[in-house]
Chain A
Amino acid sequence: KQEVTQIPAALSVPEGENLVLNCSFTDSAIYNLQWFRQDPGKGLTSLLLIQSSQREQTSGRLNASLDKSSGRSTLYIAASQPGDSATYLCAVGGQAGTALIFGKGTTLSVSS
């Protein structure tokens, strides 16, 4: 059974720092991997989607990498801002059309 782990569970950084959030999964036979942002009490905002054949995706200050063979993905946030404060969730899709399996998330706090 696929399990997704995110480390660290919480992270506090000063504004301007570059940071890395980690995600690991136990079954490397994934279809895709997605990073989401969740603000307190709110729904999910999709940040980046990486297909299993891809190594990385970039959007603005965000860069997500995928190493399927080692079961790892990282989300890199450059020049962090207070507005980046939120919980970041990693989710993997096992097969096309199946539900996503989520990690517990990393709660990020960026202080000004």
Chain B
Amino acid sequence: GAVVSQHPSRVICKSGTSVKIECRSLDFQATTMFWYRQFPKQSLMLMATSNEGSKATYEQGVEKDKFLINHASLTLSTLTVTSAHPEDSSFYICSARGATVGSTDTQYFGPGTRLTVL
């Protein structure tokens, strides 16, 4: 149980286009989802925290108008990279936390999305 999926797994786009990444909790309701970004040989850095039905909370230095996050349901959060540029090329990973899944406040991670902007 407690599976999180991401789609797409890999995307290549041209500079200036927008890309949407989906994060789904498949078998539980995710009250909170987190979006992380990982540059090559670097650690995962939190971008934003998304609670169902409310606006996302962005970390310092992350442009909320560039990285649009929508958490419209308890099983789906989306991250849209608007007007993507080559420096946005990275590995984007989401995690989901469900209050009903176990009792240890575990976060379940998606498999990640590799974004390459040409």
Taking beta carbons and an 8 Å cutoff, which residues of A are in contact with B? 4, 31-32, 36, 41-44, 46, 49, 51, 89, 91, 93, 96-105
Contact = CB atoms under 8 A, between A and B. Distances in A.
A89 B105 contact: no
Interface of B: 32, 34, 36, 41-46, 49, 91, 93, 95, 97, 104-112, 114
B23 to A, nearest CB: 12
Given A32-B104, A101-B46, 7 more contacts: A31-B105, A43-B111, A44-B112, A49-B106, A89-B44, A91-B44, A96-B105
A59 B34 CA distance: 27
- Listed residue (A44, A96, A97, A99) with the most chain B CB atoms within 10 angstroms of its CB: A99
Contacts of B107: 93, 99-100
B105 A93 contact: yes
- Listed residue (B42, B109, B110) with the most chain A CB atoms within 10 angstroms of its CB: B109
